[in-house]
Each structure stands twice: as C-alpha cells, then as structure tokens.
Structure 1
Amino acid sequence: MSRPASGPVPPPVRSASGGARPVEIVPDRRRGRGSLPPWWLVLVDVALLLVLGILCAWPLGEAYTGRRWLLAVVVGLALGIAVAWLAARWRWGPWSTALAAAAAYLLVGSAVAVPTRARGGYVPTADSLRDLVVGLVHAWREALTLPVPLGENGVVLIVPLVTGLLGGLVAALLLWRSRWPGLAGLVLGLVLVLASAFGDVAAQAALTRGLVVAVVGVVWLRWRSLRHVRARWGRRVLATLVVVGVAGGAATGLGALADPDANRVVLRDHVDPPFDPRDYPSPLAKFRAYKKEPIRTGTTLFTVDGLDSGTLVRFAVMDTYDGIVWNVSGGPGSAHDSGTFRRLRNDPDANARATVHGRITINDYTGVWVPSVGETLSMTPVRDGRTDGEAAGELVINRETGTVAQIGGVERGTTFEVEAIAPLDPVEEEISALDADGSVSLPPPAIVPEELVERVQRWRTEDGFSGGPGGLLAQFLRDSFREHGFYSDGIDDDVPAGHGASRLAVLAKTATPVGNAEQYAAAMALIGQRLGLPIRVVIGFKVPPGGEVRGENVTAWTEVKLKDAGWVPFDPTPPEDQKLRRPNDDPNEDPQPQVLQPPRVPGEPKEATDNLQQGDGQRKDLDVLAVLGTILGILLDVAKVVLLLSPLWGVLLFKLLRRRRRRRAGDATLRLTGAWHELADRVRDLGVRTTPGSTRRESAYAVAERYDAVPVVTLAHTADRHVYGEGEPSLEEARAYWADIDTALKRIRRATPWWRRLLARFSLASVPWRAGLARVRSALAGRVRRLGRWLLGRGPVVRLRALTRRKLTSRRRRPGAN
C-alpha cells in the first residue's frame, strides 16, 4: 500500500448530531521570503502581543510615578517585535538577533529610559550610553531598594524598557520561528510574574487583568494553531471562557482563604531599603543637646512662615523602646502598625484638602528628620527659587506615624513648602469619654522598670482612680506626672540626662521626680504601653512668636490613639516654672542622681551628641550572626560563580546540540540511525554498559535486562530492517521512529530514580571527550609541524640571510669596491 503524499489522515470530528464529519484542512498559502506567516496573521500577532504585553507589565505601574514607565514598556515591546520580525524575514542567527536587539536598545534607550542624560532629551550621548550599559545591572537593584513610588530620574526606567524588549523579542521569535508557538503565552506569563515581583504590594484590578490575559491568550494561541481547521469557534470560545472563569473563581477563593487581607508578596519586601531609621541615633537622645548653648538661644535651627505661634512641629515619632532609647521604627522587621518608610508622593488635591499651608526654611539644623505638621499631604523642597528635584526624590515618609525624612540629610537653605491637615483638638470632656483604639498593635517595650509601675500604682491608690476608657487613663497619667513632678533642664544642676530604664527608675523612685520633657514623655509612654494604651513618643518644636525656632523651643510629648479621634497629643511635662527649690524634701530619703544600673540594662551615655549612633538594642546582640551571615553570603556568591562557570553546562549544551543534529539530519537513514544512537547514549549515561563493537540487537538485550518493560529489542529490529532492508526509509518513517524512541525514553526515565536521572544529565559516558582531545592534540601537532617547516624553509630567518647576501653582492659589484 502506498503512503499518502500529504501525511497521515486526520481523525474524524464528531458533529453536533453525533455523526462523524471529516475535518476540512485549509492549505497554508504563505508567501514571501523567510518563515514569516501571512501578513494579516503578523498584524494580528503584533496587536495581541502589544495589548497582552502591556496588561502583563501593568503591575510595574504601581511602583512608579507618572506614565513614563508605560512609554518604556510600549517602546520595549515594539522594539522587540520589530527585531524579531527582521530576524524572521532575513533569517538571522541568534548572534545577529542579539546584536540587533542590543543596538536598538542603545539607540532608543537614551530617549526613553535616561532622557536627562541625552542631548535634547533624545540624542544619545556618552553619559546616556554609559548609564544604559551600567544600568542593565544596577537598575534592578535600585528598583527594589529605592522607596516607592519610583521617580523618572536615574536608571529605574530601564527595568520596564528591558522587560518589554525581551518579552516582545522572545515571544515574537517563538511565534514566527519556532515549532512551539504556544510558548509565547509562557513568555507573557513570565513578564507578568516579573512585573508583579518588581511592583508594589498594592495592585488595582489584578484579578480582572489576569482573567483578560488568560482568556485572550488562550483563545488567540488556540485559534492560531488551528486556524486551518474549520470548526465551531463560537462554542470553543464559550468553553474557554467557562474554564478560565471557573479557574479564576477557584484561585480567588483559595487566595482569600490563604490571605484574607489579599496582601501581595513582592521582592522589595525581602530587600533591605536604603533608609533604615535604626541606622541613625534616636532623636529623643539628642534632647539635652538642644538645651545647651549656643544651640539653645544663639542658633536659629529653621524658620517657619504661615504657621501660628504655639503650633507643634514634629520631627519624629517613636514607638519602639529597647531599654536604652525610644527610637523611630519603620525599617525592616518593624511591626505592621508601625508603618514603613516609602517615597513621599504629593497629593494632587493637597491644595484643596489642606488646612495648613506653611514654609519651613532650614538654617543651622542638620539631620535626616524633616519638620512636618499634622498629616502631610504635600511637601516640596525649593532651592534658589526652583523646585529641587533631587531632594524631592530623597524624601520618604512613614504614613502610619507621619514622620518625614530625607535620605542623606537636609541641606542649609532648603525651603520645604508644606501642605497638611492639622490634627484634631478635642476638648477634655470628649477625650475622657473616648476608648482606646484596640486595632493598633505596637511593639511591646523591652524593659519596664518596676519602680515606675509601683509609682503609678501608688498614684492610682492615692487619687482613687479605678480605671475607665482609654482617654480617661491617658488624662490620669498626664495629670499625675504634671502634678507630682518638677521641671529641670539639667543645665544648672546635676539632674542626669537620658531616658534609659535606669534613668526612668530614678525618676520614679525619688519622692520628688525631677526631669524635662525627655524623661516625662518617655516614662508616660512606657507605663502607658504597659497598661495597654496605644501610645508613642513624639519629639518636635513649639513655634515661637516670629517663627525663628531655636534649641530652647524643643519639646517632647506623647500621642494616644483613641477611637473616632485619631492620635491625640498629651503633654505630661510639668510647667518650666515648677522647679524643685530644695534638693530633697524628705531628710530620711537619700536619692542619688547616679545609681547602680540593673543587671539587665546596659550602660547608657550621659548625653547624646551629633555623632551618637544608637540602634534599637538588637543589632549589637546579633554581631556573631551578622558575621556568619556575611560568611555564608560570600560562600553563596562563590558557589554561584563556580556554578555559572562550571563545564557541566557545556556537557548539557553538547548533548542538546547532538540530539538536535541527529533529529534534523537531512538524510532519512541518518535521521533514523541517529534516533537509535540517541537511545544508546541515554542508557549509557544511566549506567548500562554494553560490549564495545556489539550490534544493535546485542546492545538491546543488555538494555532489556535492566528495563524489561521497554521494547528496546523491537526498536533494534526496526532500525535494522530500515537500514539493511530493501529501499530507503522515508522521512515520515524516520519521524515515526523518533516518536517511538521518545516514548521508550520516557518509560526508562520513569523506571529510574530521580537522583540517577539528574546524574545522567551531566554524565560523560556518552561524550567522546577522549576522541575530541585526541583530535585537538593532533590538530595542534600538525600546526606546530607546519610552523616549524615554514620557519626552517621560507621563514624570516631565511629571508634575512638572503637579503644580507644580496646586499653584499651589490657592494662588490660597485666600482672601486674592495
């Protein structure tokens, strides 16, 4: 029976009535050069690649400001698709395609990713090209470590540009130059995963975008692969919609059960940001330094315009206590309710919503903490009458606490134009009826002095306070500290500074507590957290008449979160005129300003300076772990380099190219015997040893002893029949034999342990490396011999001798020569 010329007959398709009807195949009428499909299909592919690529890359937009990231994605997709079309039309190899993509990236990237470094914003320069090359490595790190939202300066826009370029290039090449065009959908899925990983924790309409991408992608790729088959596409599309809808609903339900808050996991959550408040000294530890000359009265720290006298300008909010200092949280590992520092994004409606419009000009103040008021909606740094874009990109804010910081510190002469919402100021009667907001969870203090607990318990007994709402408790603590305490800056007496556990123990132990806002605010916040209040410490300045803020205007207070009122300020510090006239009111009690510290509390400095670097009390205990982590990181980096440069990848590449060469042999007999050689090499890598020079059948019997469920002997007979039988095998028979070999290899892999399969991939048993070394050695020896003959025969030495003889002969022939 003769073979059909057009390949195997497709199976019949059942019609709606139940009868079988043949599938009608429409011939492929592709025209033109290369392997491109028809022009109309190319246009469909380009349009869908652009649309689906933009939808998959959309999560990146949550991490950027503006819409320039979208331009970078679109341009990258267009460049990648254009390079893939040229490569398919002119049949470029992989190296030519890669070089064309690199040239397109360098040509267009200056105008898209780093326009500030290009001439006129478009023409590439040496600086812009350098940023594009270096940014291929640094942009990914900066996109994760810089606080979001990312701006449009620097090299961060290289991430969406390269993502679009590589995604469009690989997807289009798979569509137009691969036998597996369906893998283009996998590439788009990888773009979605990459964009989500480099995006932000918040994403709008993520489920809707995912369903649209899944439905359109599946229908498109399915129609593309079966476009020659005339079938009921309406029913196919409806079935696809139903399947994707059910899968999307199930994924949504499982995601809600796994994470009720629907929080996304992104890479930036696992990377330490560049701004960590624990890297800087506690702002409250510097309190005493502001009270000393010349900062106290002779130095203007900053000036304020547009704010009323008496307004509290906050520097920093501190809600974590380690036994030594109250410190700002918001770095890696902070509690969720403490918030995190992210790039300050100005509210576009700030001018309409704000109740405070002020200007703060920095003079002699230095530090990273930026003065702010209430809920900051907008903060714009201005220098020399113009907006300072670089400083604006370094502003970060913790929205939970309202603390604003500038990476690298503020600069003298910078004016911050602030638009904010002033905090509520409820009256005392309203506060006493409000409950504490139990939804806020702050990190518990490391140490609470027992003396402080006993002193507050004594006050409750004396005043007859039996408890009540959170607002009433906060009022009781504030009034108790103000009534029973005395004020002293410690400048003219020996009152110690600091607010460590030992200092607060002294404050509570003495019959006449003496201190300033640093100690009283720290003590009230500490005992308040012990009693269950959501309370924190704030340091700032009270604006004086005239707006020139000096060190004498520094103060500290506490804030308590109350229901329906937010964070309400409480000032527990006694009035400055409430001073202790005698050193001791009780002659039988001998309080000492310096006492022996408890064993659990480490020593603390008397006074904080500008260069004091204190953390949260945890990093010093983790020095050994940090060293071990550094060593493990170095070992891991070395292992990565060794793995990357390992010759084992060459073994895998050799086996892949060998299989590809065998499977694509032009001669049918060579292709068929190549299939048998592939099977023999695979089992040799798995440890099956055959006698050198054995026939196919003898080798097959050796394989069958280990893998008896695989018809290896039958495959050997089939190969012998096609090779030694009458006539030449056809390409269809060679392809069918390759399919049988693939099936046999799958059964062999299933019957082999996983670790043995892994070792077989890197085995050198089937690699003729000895013969290769012999060929290289013989080739080198031949070149050495030819070089030696050339040197001894017509080499430079012989030429020099001949030239010397010619010169001597010419001299002898001259008249008068001896």
Structure 2
Amino acid sequence: MTSPPTNPVGGVPLAPPVRSASRSGPVLIVPDRRRGRGALPPWWLVLTDAALVIGLGVLGAWPLGQAWTGHRWLIAVVVGLALGVAIAWAGARWRLGPWLTALLTAAAYLAVGSAVAVPNRTSGGVVPTADSLHDLVVGLVQSWRESLTLPVPLGETGVVLLVPFLTGLLGGLAAAVLLWRSRWPGLAGVVLALVLVVSSAFGDVTAQAALARGLVIAVVALVWLRWRSLRHVRARWGRRVLATLVVVGVAGGAASGLGALADPEANRVVLRDHVDPPFDPHDYPSPLAKFRAYKKEPLRTETSLFAVDGLDSGTRVRLAVMDTYDGIVWNVSGGPEAAHDSGTFRRLRNDPEANAKATTRGAVTVTGYTGVWVPSVGDTLAMTPVKDGRTDDEAAAELVVNRETGTVAQIGGVEPGTTFEVEALAPPVPVEEDIATREADSSVSLPAPAVVPEELVDRVQRWQAEDGFGGGTGGELAQFLRDSFREHGFYSDGIDDDVPAGHGAARLAELTKTPNPVGNAEQYAAAMALIGQRLGLPIRVVLGFKVPPGGDDVRGEDISAWTEVKLRDVGWVPFDPTPPEDQKLRKPNDDPDEDPQPQVLQPPRVPGEPKEASDNLQQGDGQRRELDVLAVLGTILGIALDVAKVALLLSPLWGVLLFKFWRRRRRRRADDPTLRLTGAWHELADRMRDLGVRPPPGATRRESAYAAADRYEAVPVVTLAHTADRHVYGEGEPTPEEVGAYWADVDTAVRRMRRATPWWRRLLARFSLASVPWRAGVERLRSAVGRRGRGAGRWFAALGPVVRGRAVVRRAVRATTRVVRR
C-alpha cells in the first residue's frame, strides 16, 4: 500500500485526490494546496484577475464618458481600479484586517486622488496641498450631488472627477477582495455589474451600445469566474467549453432579439432626470417683461449695459429666445417640461473643430447689465469668460446653452467686469424674394399658445380681406403679418403717454381691438408670434439689442424685440413687425386751438375718500386686519410636524430596536448548542415580558411558563419550558437539528402570542424596556462613577499636604516682604 503524499513543509500528509463519477466521465478533483483560507492564489492567477477586473471595470464605467468631457474621467477610472486592486493585493499579502484595509484605502485616496481628480488644486499637478485635501474630503459627498445637478457635459474642474475615481476605487477594491479573501469569489461579477449600474445611473440619457456592453461584461465574467472556480478540476474541457458557448450563444441571441425589437434611439432613465435641474428658465421672470424698464432712465441713456468689440453696427445681440406663451408672458423654454423642439439647457462646450467654422468673432464686456441671460450673437459655437485678464474657469463651468434656440445663460447671473469672447456662426439673411418662395419648416413643432385673443384673430382676418391675401408659402405669410403690423400700427415707447405696458392676452386684445394699434416692440413682436403660431408658423420671440452705429457701448435705448420664423432650407429668419419710431399717432388735442374758450372758475373740490384706498394702505397704517385662524393653525401644525420628525429621528427608541436585534442575533449564533437552545427560551421570555407578562422575581422556566399560560392558552409555553429543562439538565448536548427545531417552535409561539394581543399593545412591545436590563446598566455605571469619584478623592487627599505646604510657603514669603518694606 502506498502512503499518501506528504507536504514538503512540515511533513504533514496531504489529502489524496478524490475521484468522482459523472455522466460526462470520470472527474479528478485535485485538492487546493494553498497554505490556508485567505492566502493569495498563484501569481499568474493574480495577474489574470487584476487584468480582468480592470478591463471589465473600465467597460462597465464607460457610460460615464457620455456625461464627462475630455479624457480625464477615463484616467480617473483606470487609476481608481488599479489602486483598488493594489490595496486588495496588499491586504491579502500581509493579512490586513478590515480596519487596516480601510485605513490604507483612505490614505491611498488622499495621496493619489489629488493628482487624479483635482489636479488644479495641487502643487505642480501632483503634490497634494491643503486645498486639494479639503476638496477630496468634501467631495466624498458633494461630488455625487454636483455630477447630477450640473448640466452635462461635465467639465474637468471642481470635484466632479471624484465620481469616476471613487467608482473605480471602490469597485476594484470590492471585486479583488471578494476574489482573493472570501469564500464567494463569484460575487466579484456582481460588483462589476454594480459598477455598470452606477455608471449608467450617473451618465447621460443617451444610450450608446448599452445592451452590447452589458452582454460582453456578462459573458466574459461568466466564463472567467466559471473557469476560475473549476481550475482544479481535470475533466473533459472540450464538452465544458462547448456547453458554455451554447449558453452564451442562446443568451446573446435572446439579447439581440430584444435589442432589435427595442427603439434604437431610446434613452436611459438616469438619476439626473429625478433631481431638481440646475437651471430652469421658468425659475426666472420673462425677459420680455423687462422691456419697458430698459426704455426708462437710468438704463435708457445714462447707464452702459455692456460694451462690444469686433461687432459691426446693426448686429443683433440676442439675450433670450422665447417660444412658449401662457396667456400672460412669453417665456424661455428649456426646462424639464419643455417640448422636444424647444431644446434643453446643457453645459456650453467649446468644440475646437466647430470653432473653425465661426464667421463672427467678437467680445462683449458686461458693465451695467445684470441677469442670468448672457448676450450672444447668432449660433454660438464658443464662449470664453475672461476676468482680470485671465480665463474665469468658475464662470465657464456655469455657462449653459440651449442649442435649439441659441439662448445662453449663466447660473447665478453674470458679473460686471466679465468679458465674454464669442465665436459664432452668423446665419445668412435671405432677400425678400427668396423668403417669399420658402415654405415653413414643418419638422419643427412648438408648444401651442395657451390663449389667443379673439380681437387679434379678427384684426388679422380683416387685414387679409382688405389686402386680398388668400394664403401662400410660410415666407409669404410671415411677410404679410410683418408688413400688416408695420403699416396699420403706430409706435409709442409708453414713457411720455399713457400707453400700457406688458404683453398679456388682455394687453394684446386692447392693442388690436382699437382702430389704430399703438405699442412698442414688446407688443408687436408678441402679437405677431402669437397669431403666427395660431396660423401654423414655427415662430418665436427674440429679445436683444442692436449695436448702435459708431458706438461700442450698448444702452437701454438699443433694446429691441423681433420674431424669428423657421423656413425650409434657410433656418430661422428674423422679422421685425414694429413700426418705425417716427410713426406716431397724432391725438386730436395735439393741434393748437385757434379759438380758445374763456376759462370758467370751477368750484373748489371737496376732498373725499381716495379711490381703492384699501389697496394703498401699508402695514401699520391703523387699518384693522382680521387674523387668519386657519393660516395660524396650519403654521403651528407644520412646526409641530417638523419637531415630531426631528424627535422621531433622534429618538432613543431606535437604539432599543437595535439592541433587541443584536441580542437575538447573539443568542442564535452562540457556539455552544445548549447556549443556543437556552437563548431561544430567553428570547421567548423577553417577548412575553414585552407583551405584558410579569412572572414573579426569580421564577423558574416552568413558573414563567405557567404565568404566560394563564393569558395565552393556545400557546404551548409550558411544553417549551419542559423541553428546555430536559436539554439543559439531561445527559449529552442537543444536536443542531434539535436546536433549530426548538428555535422554530419558539418563533411560532411568539407569532401566536402577538396575534392574540391587541395591535396597540404589539406596537408598544416593539419599543418596550421590560426586557432590556437597563437598571443593571445604570447600576454598573453608577458603581463605576463612584469608584472613579473615590479614586479622585484619594488623589486630592494625597495632594492635601502639598497644597498646605505651598500655602505655608506663600504666607512666609508675604511676611518676609512686609519686614523688608518696613
């Protein structure tokens, strides 16, 4: 008989190979000769695992590239994955515990994260500084919020790069630890799948080869982990490889079929869709509503709003484009509820290739202008904010643009002194003859106006009848509306007369119901866009300025509003429906009276109550106001609910639940079978105390069971007590099966007792302190405090002679001083 092979280290016999029979033939299972659980596998397997973790991790994190610009996000992911794998290898190599591994991870994060995630805050781009370490600590929480709230594509400034770095670091560390230091190495595939899920959640809505990417990760991880788990099994690998390929083929075919049925242009549901957007134009008042304010002093002529450089006179500098009307104001689109053709606001990304096509280059320096809307020209390709002679990276990170409308905004508003260097593509302006031949671009669908005054519709219909306009192309309709408003209307800025401001439905109805319409660009542009959308034109309102001739400073008097209509093969064409400023309506009393009438002395006016005096009274003017009792009660109720929420959150009752959970877990996982069984009885006894059963002090199990049996007759508590006594005082130890069965009986008994108890008593039992030994804890704490107090007393008593000696010395010194002075 041959002896079993021995281990060369220590001469310990090794376990012989085990043969197993299966349908596929004999399988030889070679035992793992590692030095123990938790030891590193061979070096070739470590390198293979590390390469696959990093490779699959990068593939899983690829959706982040749709939300981040540049390539630094990819560097952050790769460095994070490699760093996590290295930390896991070091922990397995030197057998580091969880706390030491976490400490090593924190140190590596602070040492490497500065150069990877916040290089602009480091010294020389590599050496960490106090600012970079502060950003790393704060960014552990702030980076996730900023990556969801800032508009995409995200830049490389701030702390947003911490998201890909942390995703790679934590994903690589968890996957490698599970591979090399756990009993379940197959969970590494789950970790890599979570990396894909997290990256997709923090990515953008655009789905690019998401199905193929997930399928590749699943197939590679399945084959890799299967081969890894069976690397010690010598079997017919041809059949295993063939079976694996069949499974992968079936899964791939099913996935491909589902992908073919799905919408190829479908968008993912990402987290940024469920957070408050960083910029919603509806959070700000309509830019067109401020039109009259620009016509008043000091904005009209005294204040310079901004200075332009490199722009020709007459160039249209736009502030905002508005394509939605709610019956009160025209407003900017691009919020979360905006129509698809209205676009959305995204981060302004300067594309060098697109900038080469720029036909207009200039600079706009903000002086007296304030607001979130940034002056822009044409189709903005690039915009660089410069302040104090250098690029303002913080302002650049807050620039957003709606590519559909061309509106540019800065989150938080522009700052005076900032110069915006603009590179834009000036749209070609076709001649009138070419416009008349163009059809409206029917591919654009704008939101229908909420209200269209009937007076506006009737006036346009009368103009059509008078001019014999029976229809035509979209360009001809736009020209007809523009010319009709210019010919039949009169101009008034509303400063020197009583022409009302605004462009609500009532104001537009008043504009068009009078024989002679009077208004300014605010009313005429709003009216033309409103009736144009009613007639099916893709039309919108634009607010902006026209660069004055021979001047660089733009003031309020240069404000203007016009409309834009999208025509086929031409794009958005501007139309100005406002009459010339010298086309004013002459009132009857404008002519001098050739035969003046003699003045008649009028009787003195008796002062009376002012009209609508209640509207002019301010707070504290003596008017008696009624107390809104419901509002006060609602406020008090809201405060009470807030206090209750805070009290519930900070309540020590959660500690009671945690203690009971920990106590049950400790009892059920005791090493000794007898202790596990008696722990089940103690659990039952504690539940009975919480439900209100009060056995006498020092009662035995049977006495406690009899006390509970009086209340719960249908629960075999006495039988459970006898069973516990038999196992505790009988011969031998209970088997694991008997312990498990006893715990199951105890759980059943507890459920029956709870069903027999009123619901309010069951709720109170969850947080009851009857089974919590808090009195014993208080006694131990008091004893410990007493011992510390007595020790402190002895210490002070020992210091007594020293203190008294110092007092004697001080008295002697004072006496000597008095003698010397005498």
Fold equivalence (TM over 0.5): yes
Q: Quote the offset at 1:643 in angstroms.
A: 5.2
- What is the CA–CA distance in structure 1 between the aligned matches of 2:424 and 2:46, rounded to whole Å? 54
Indicate conservation of the 8 Å contact 1:381/1:416, yes or no.
Answer: yes
Q: Quote the offset at 1:401 in angstroms.
A: 0.7
Equivalent residue for 1:337? Answer: 341
Residue 263 (1) aligns with residue 267 (2): yes
Residue 562 (1) aligns with residue 562 (2): no
* Letter of the structure 1 residue corresponding to residue 333 of structure 2: S
| Mean CA deviation greater in 225-234 or 529-538 | 225-234
Q: Quote the offset at 1:140 in angstroms.
A: 2.0
Q: Tell me the C-alpha RMSD between the 2 structures.
A: 4.9
Give per-residue Cα distances to partners, 1:774-793, cap 9 Å, x unaligned.
5524533543564576578x
Indicate conservation of the 8 Å contact 1:367/1:409, yes or no.
Answer: yes
Structure 2 residue matching 1:24: 3-state secondary structure: strand
Equivalent residue for 2:503? Answer: 499
* Letter of the structure 2 residue corresponding to residue 283 of structure 1: P
Equivalent residue for 1:371? Answer: 375
- What is the CA–CA distance in structure 2 between the aligned matches of 1:650 and 1:640, rounded to whole Å? 18
User: CA separation of 1:646/1:215 partners in 2, compared to 1, >3 Å: closer, same or farther?
Assistant: farther
Indicate conservation of the 8 Å contact 1:282/1:325, yes or no.
Answer: yes
Q: Quote the offset at 1:508 in angstroms.
A: 0.3
Give per-residue Cα distances to partners, 1:552-596, cap 9 Å, x unaligned.
3322111123333332222212233433344599xxxxxxxxxxx
5+ residue gaps in structure 2?
A: 1-12, 591-629, 812-822
- What is the CA–CA distance in structure 2 between the aligned matches of 1:11 and 1:759, rounded to whole Å? 61
Equivalent residue for 1:317? Answer: 321
Equivalent residue for 2:249? Answer: 242
Question: How do residues 176-195 of structure 1 correspond to structure 2 at under 5 angstroms?
Answer: 176-195=180-199
Structure 1 residue matching 2:279: 3-state secondary structure: coil
Residue 252 (1) aligns with residue 265 (2): no
User: CA separation of 1:30/1:8 partners in 2, compared to 1, >3 Å: closer, same or farther?
Assistant: closer
Which of residues 570, 577, 602 in structure 2 aligns to 1:572?
A: 577
Equivalent residue for 2:540? Answer: 536
- What is the CA–CA distance in structure 2 between the aligned matches of 1:653 and 1:243, rounded to whole Å? 50
* Letter of the structure 2 residue corresponding to residue 200 of structure 1: D
Equivalent residue for 2:288? Answer: 284
Q: Quote the offset at 1:310 in angstroms.
A: 3.0
Q: Quote the offset at 1:765 in angstroms.
A: 8.5
* Letter of the structure 1 residue corresponding to residue 276 of structure 2: D
Indicate conservation of the 8 Å contact 1:369/1:406, yes or no.
Answer: yes
* Letter of the structure 1 residue corresponding to residue 79 of structure 2: V
User: CA separation of 1:324/1:353 partners in 2, compared to 1, >3 Å: closer, same or farther?
Assistant: same
Indicate conservation of the 8 Å contact 1:672/1:737, yes or no.
Answer: no
- What is the CA–CA distance in structure 1 between the aligned matches of 2:127 and 2:517, rounded to whole Å? 70
Question: How do residues 28-427 of structure 1 correspond to structure 2 at under 5 angstroms?
Answer: 28-31=32-35, 34-231=38-235, 232=237, 233-249=240-256, 251-252=258-259, 255-256=262-263, 261-293=265-297, 295-297=299-301, 299-427=303-431
| Mean CA deviation greater in 243-252 or 145-154 | 243-252
Indicate conservation of the 8 Å contact 1:685/1:760, yes or no.
Answer: no
| Mean CA deviation greater in 173-182 or 656-665 | 656-665
Indicate conservation of the 8 Å contact 1:147/1:341, yes or no.
Answer: yes
Q: Quote the offset at 1:14 in angstroms.
A: 4.3
Equivalent residue for 1:479? Answer: 483
Equivalent residue for 1:612? Answer: none
Indicate conservation of the 8 Å contact 2:84/2:170, yes or no.
Answer: yes
- What is the CA–CA distance in structure 2 between the aligned matches of 1:32 and 1:350, rounded to whole Å? 61
Equivalent residue for 1:611? Answer: none
Indicate conservation of the 8 Å contact 2:541/2:564, yes or no.
Answer: yes
- What is the CA–CA distance in structure 2 between the aligned matches of 1:380 and 1:721, rounded to whole Å? 82
Q: Quote the offset at 1:285 in angstroms.
A: 2.3
Q: Quote the offset at 1:293 in angstroms.
A: 4.9
Indicate conservation of the 8 Å contact 1:301/1:363, yes or no.
Answer: yes
| Mean CA deviation greater in 355-364 or 188-197 | 355-364
User: CA separation of 1:634/1:334 partners in 2, compared to 1, >3 Å: closer, same or farther?
Assistant: farther
- What is the CA–CA distance in structure 2 between the aligned matches of 1:98 and 1:638, rounded to whole Å? 37
Equivalent residue for 1:592? Answer: none
* Letter of the structure 2 residue corresponding to residue 779 of structure 1: R
* Letter of the structure 2 residue corresponding to residue 575 of structure 1: P
Which of residues 553, 556, 560 in structure 1 aligns to 2:558?
A: 553
Residue 674 (1) aligns with residue 679 (2): no
- What is the CA–CA distance in structure 2 between the aligned matches of 1:53 and 1:631, rounded to whole Å? 51
Indicate conservation of the 8 Å contact 1:672/1:719, yes or no.
Answer: no
Structure 2 residue matching 1:111: 3-state secondary structure: helix
Equivalent residue for 1:773? Answer: 774
- What is the CA–CA distance in structure 1 between the aligned matches of 2:169 and 2:738, rounded to whole Å? 40
* Letter of the structure 2 residue corresponding to residue 252 of structure 1: G
Indicate conservation of the 8 Å contact 1:652/1:761, yes or no.
Answer: no
Question: How do residues 592-741 of structure 1 correspond to structure 2 at under 5 angstroms?
Answer: 639=645, 642=648, 647-648=653-654, 651=657, 655=661, 659=665, 663=669, 665=671, 670=672, 674=676
In the superposition, the TM-score normalised over structure 1's length comes to: 0.77
- What is the CA–CA distance in structure 2 between the aligned matches of 1:572 and 1:680, rounded to whole Å? 88
| Mean CA deviation greater in 514-523 or 347-356 | 347-356
Question: Identity of paired residues, percent?
Answer: 63
Q: Quote the offset at 1:393 in angstroms.
A: 1.6
User: CA separation of 1:174/1:289 partners in 2, compared to 1, >3 Å: closer, same or farther?
Assistant: same
- What is the CA–CA distance in structure 1 between the aligned matches of 2:212 and 2:550, rounded to whole Å? 56
Bigger relative contact order, structure 1 or 2 (CA pairs below 8 A, ≥6 apart)? 1
* Letter of the structure 2 residue corresponding to residue 322 of structure 1: D
Structure 2 residue matching 1:561: 3-state secondary structure: strand
| Mean CA deviation greater in 59-68 or 330-339 | 330-339
Structure 2 residue matching 1:579: 3-state secondary structure: coil
Q: Quote the offset at 1:206 in angstroms.
A: 1.9
Number of residue pairs the alignment of both structures matches:
742
Indicate conservation of the 8 Å contact 1:316/1:539, yes or no.
Answer: yes
User: CA separation of 1:498/1:648 partners in 2, compared to 1, >3 Å: closer, same or farther?
Assistant: closer
Indicate conservation of the 8 Å contact 2:322/2:333, yes or no.
Answer: yes
- What is the CA–CA distance in structure 2 between the aligned matches of 1:248 and 1:139, rounded to whole Å? 34
In the superposition, the TM-score normalised over structure 2's length comes to: 0.76
Structure 1 residue matching 2:383: 3-state secondary structure: strand
5+ residue gaps in structure 1?
A: 586-623, 812-818
Give per-residue Cα distances to partners, 1:590-649, cap 9 Å, x unaligned.
xxxxxxxxxxxxxxxxxxxxxxxxxxxxxxxxxx99x99999899699759945876547
Indicate conservation of the 8 Å contact 2:342/2:404, yes or no.
Answer: yes
Q: Quote the offset at 1:538 in angstroms.
A: 0.4
User: CA separation of 1:56/1:657 partners in 2, compared to 1, >3 Å: closer, same or farther?
Assistant: farther
* Letter of the structure 2 residue corresponding to residue 504 of structure 1: L
| Mean CA deviation greater in 519-528 or 221-230 | 221-230
Q: Quote the offset at 1:522 in angstroms.
A: 0.6
- What is the CA–CA distance in structure 1 between the aligned matches of 2:86 and 2:684, rounded to whole Å? 40
Q: Quote the offset at 1:264 in angstroms.
A: 1.7
* Letter of the structure 2 residue corresponding to residue 451 of structure 1: E
User: CA separation of 1:767/1:326 partners in 2, compared to 1, >3 Å: closer, same or farther?
Assistant: closer
Give per-residue Cα distances to partners, 1:728-761, cap 9 Å, x unaligned.
89xxx85x8899999999999999999x9x9999
Which of residues 447, 455, 460 in structure 2 aligns to 1:456?
A: 460
Indicate conservation of the 8 Å contact 1:676/1:741, yes or no.
Answer: no
- What is the CA–CA distance in structure 2 between the aligned matches of 1:742 and 1:439, rounded to whole Å? 70
- What is the CA–CA distance in structure 1 between the aligned matches of 2:249 and 2:361, rounded to whole Å? 55
* Letter of the structure 2 residue corresponding to residue 797 of structure 1: A
Indicate conservation of the 8 Å contact 1:350/1:419, yes or no.
Answer: no
Give per-residue Cα distances to partners, 1:14-65, cap 9 Å, x unaligned.
445xxxx343212112248954333333322222222222222222222222
Residue 783 (1) aligns with residue 787 (2): no
Q: Quote the offset at 1:280 in angstroms.
A: 3.1
